[in-house]
Chain A
Amino acid sequence: MIQVTNLQKIYNGITVLDIPELNISQGESFGLVGNNGAGKTTFFRLILDLIEASQGGVTIENEKVMRNDDWKIKVGSFLDEGFLIDFLTPEEYFAFVGKLYNKSEGDISTSLESLKDFFNTEILGSKKLIRDFSKGNQKKIGIAAALLGDPKVLILDEPFTALDPSSQIRLKRFLNELQENQKITMLISSHDLNHVTEVCKRIVILEKGHIVKDLKTDRDTLKELENYFAV
């Protein structure tokens, strides 16, 4: 599904990311963990063609992402607030995004209906602009918009931070359902080792731009991760 070959990103002579090879297959839930500056967000931005690779590249379903538009319809993503259009109301934003992915108004309201629990009545119908919402609610809006186009690939950067405890649990349940029912390929980065082991079947540890561990999640994974990160 997603193929990374010889990918390098160099800023001012410093290699911040160097991944010789990585394959993420269809339906896989891929977790990315690492300390600050390990290159998680850089990696995601490279997959989304938001920064230029110094070398190598990424393909999604054998299509190069670089300077290409065709992969966009398959991918839903939310990394930070830059992925929102903050002067729109959530409804306007969802309608806009839905249109981009050829969804009818009916499709959009069905999708939003399924997210009703996650939104917890705070988001829809409030007539507020997105910029006036709290960080946590903005995150919910962003995640919802990423899912709106029924993507084959979902990319989320630290989806659990800034969410309240109930929303974290709901999001986890929701992501697990998505995997089981729709076989979505998921790429999720997180600082929270608990959450990421609960959601992802495969976990990769990134350190200083290199992949240092590539684990299949089982009962001992959490322990292993904790040991790795313990100072």
Chain B
Amino acid sequence: MIVFDLVKQEWKKGFRSQGFYKNLAVNILLVFLSLYFAGLLLLIGFSLDNILEEADKTLNPMELFNGALIYILLAGLTIRFFLQQLNTINLPPYQVLPLKRSLLVNFLLIKPLFSPVNYFQLFVVVPFAIQSVSGYYGNAVAVRFVLLCIMLMWFNSLMASFLKRKFGSSLFIIVGILIIAAISALEFFKIFSFFNVSKLIFTYITLRPFGLVLLLLAVAGAYLLNRLFFAQNFYPEKFNEKIKSENNIKANLSFLNRFGIIGEIISVELKLILRHKRTKSILYMSGFFLLYGLIFYTQDVYLHNNSFLFFVAMFVTGLLMFMFGQWVISWDSSHFDSIMTKNISVRTYLNANYYMLIAFNLLCFVLTTPYFLFGPIIIKMHIAAFIFNTGINTFLFMFLSTYNTKRIDLSKSSAMNYQGTTFKSFLIVIPVMFLPMLIVGALSPFLSISAILWILTGLGLSGLLFRRQLLTLCVNQFNNRKYKLAEGFRQAD
């Protein structure tokens, strides 16, 4: 089978890419991370039975699960639309070989179904099926339940790639969220329960052997939709690209012109963020992370842990800086020579990045003001965190970002892309993220939290006061690292 040759060549492409071994440390870290998530999911899988038994007395756990499936399905579709990369293969070398078009299309469509990430759900589903479903309905139903989950994943994956190819705009994410919000509202106000519908349908499917045939039909339907799309968009060059929108070019940032050269540089940097998939998806992701506070501020356990609270406050009030901060220089890697030879002094360049980070902080601080409702301590935390971020962390990021010497190719792909991420990138975040947390933790036994926050605020203010000197420090550091940066950025991997 030629398909296997294609699969094999894709594997080789992965292992033989230069970055693979150079980045071994990062890859190992990612393996640990996935093991961690697998463990977490297993834990959920084994406790799900108990949780659902407690949650409702009239329905059994599988019925509850099936009821929630419609939400899981929709949320999954939305997230996939956002994160799932369109599978591509390097077409030109294959196009000239006598390979059937349908083979290539099939390969494009079916390969993502084998991505291991998709099967992580089994860590939850399998223990749950063994513990709970087989107890209520017997082993045959338990197996069918697992198959149901797998097929729904296939359906979701195929639908997501179809929708993404067809509509290709991030607008769909908003539509997806709106749909989920709408049906949740109908549910909540007891107008119409999708929960019951979903429960009926999926329980019906699971309990009857031929139910799986219905599911297979749904998967086949999603598959055919994709085929139809490719039939209409005949030329292979279209496989890889979703339809290009020219909207993003229109973005009007001319208000920044008032701020002179620094404003110009910031406007170029903002265009950089808005015109690359990878940065744009980080931007969207940041939107979700802003809600991070809701997880912690609502729990009593965390409300008494000041150092942790400060960590969260710092994270949400400086979110964009934490997302973009250490990349301010390496994101310019593809046009670094341009910046170095055009009439921009190093100081101006770094100053522009500094003001951009401050603007990010200001924006995040304003966006997170609703958290003030959680009480005066949160207000104090946020203000102290904002000032500390702006005074100290901005410079830390600019100083440390000169150690990211790997070229980053923003044009390549979007979310969950670790290209250009090295072990150093993780090291950089450690002092910035955890040092203040440690300060709070270390001082807590001796001082009141207000006093500690005043100290941190003071540190932040002195950072603002001495910004010229600190910037000079960054300029010197940049000049020292300049040739290493330029050389690293010139090497594409």
A48 touches B340 (CB 8 A): yes
List B contacts of A100 (CB < 8 A). Answer: 261, 264, 342-344
A87 touches B341 (CB 8 A): no
Q: Could you say which of B264, B275, B343, B479 contacts A87, with CB atoms under 8 Å apart?
A: B275
A86 to B338, CA, bound (A): 10
* Stretch from B383-391, B435-443, B482-490 forming part of the interface with A: B482-490
Give the number of chain A interface residues (Cβ < 8 Å). Answer: 31
A82 to B341, CA, bound (A): 11
List A contacts of B482 (CB < 8 A). Answer: 67
Give min CB distance, B338 to chain A, whole Å.
5
In the complex, whether B80 has a CB less than 8 A from a CB of chain A is no
* Stretch from A73-81, A206-214, A215-223 forming part of the interface with B: A73-81
CB proximity to A under 8 Å, residues B284-336: 334-336
Give min CB distance, B50 to chain A, whole Å.
52
Give min CB distance, B241 to chain A, whole Å.
11
List B contacts of A83 (CB < 8 A). Answer: 335, 337-338, 341
Give min CB distance, A183 to chain B, whole Å.
20
Whether A80 contacts B337 in the complex (CB less than 8 A), given A51-B487, A96-B268, comes out as yes
A52 touches B483 (CB 8 A): yes
In the complex, residue of chain A having the shortest beta-carbon distance to the beta carbon of B335:
A85
User: Secondary structure at chain A's binding surface: helix, strand, loop or mixed?
Assistant: loop
Binary contact readout B265-283 vs A (1 if CB under 8 angstroms, 0 otherwise) = 0001001100110000000
In the complex, whether B249 has a CB less than 8 A from a CB of chain A is yes
Give min CB distance, B477 to chain A, whole Å.
12
B341 touches A85 (CB 8 A): no
Whether A129 contacts B487 in the complex (CB less than 8 A), given A82-B334, A83-B335, comes out as no
In the complex, whether A152 has a CB less than 8 A from a CB of chain B is no
A83 to B410, CA, bound (A): 16
List A contacts of B341 (CB < 8 A). Answer: 48, 50, 72, 75, 77, 83
A72 touches B276 (CB 8 A): no
Give min CB distance, B138 to chain A, whole Å.
59
B275 touches A50 (CB 8 A): no
A127 to B244, CA, bound (A): 13
A51 touches B342 (CB 8 A): no
Give the number of chain B interface residues (Cβ < 8 Å). Answer: 31
List B contacts of A77 (CB < 8 A). Answer: 341
Q: Could you say which of A48, A50, A85, A129 contacts B249, with CB atoms under 8 Å apart?
A: A129
A79 touches B272 (CB 8 A): no
A186 to B271, CA, bound (A): 33
A82 touches B483 (CB 8 A): no
List A contacts of B344 (CB < 8 A). Answer: 69, 72, 100
Give min CB distance, B39 to chain A, whole Å.
40
Give min CB distance, B344 to chain A, whole Å.
6
In the complex, whether A49 has a CB less than 8 A from a CB of chain B is yes
Interface centre among A49, A51, A82 (most CB of B within 10 A): A82
List A contacts of B54 (CB < 8 A). Answer: none
B337 touches A88 (CB 8 A): no
Interface centre among B275, B341, B486 (most CB of A within 10 A): B341
A99 touches B275 (CB 8 A): no
A87 to B334, CA, bound (A): 10
Query: Could you tell me which B residues sit within 8 Å of A by CB distance?
Result: 246, 249, 261, 264, 268, 271-272, 275-276, 334-338, 340-347, 410-411, 479, 482-483, 486-487, 489-490
29 A-B residue pairings within 8 Å (CB atoms): A48-B341, A50-B337, A50-B341, A51-B486, A52-B483, A67-B482, A69-B346, A69-B347, A72-B341, A80-B337, A82-B334, A82-B335, A82-B336, A83-B338, A84-B338, A85-B268, A86-B334, A86-B411, A87-B410, A92-B271, A96-B264, A96-B268, A99-B261, A99-B264, A100-B261, A100-B344, A101-B343, A129-B275, A149-B343
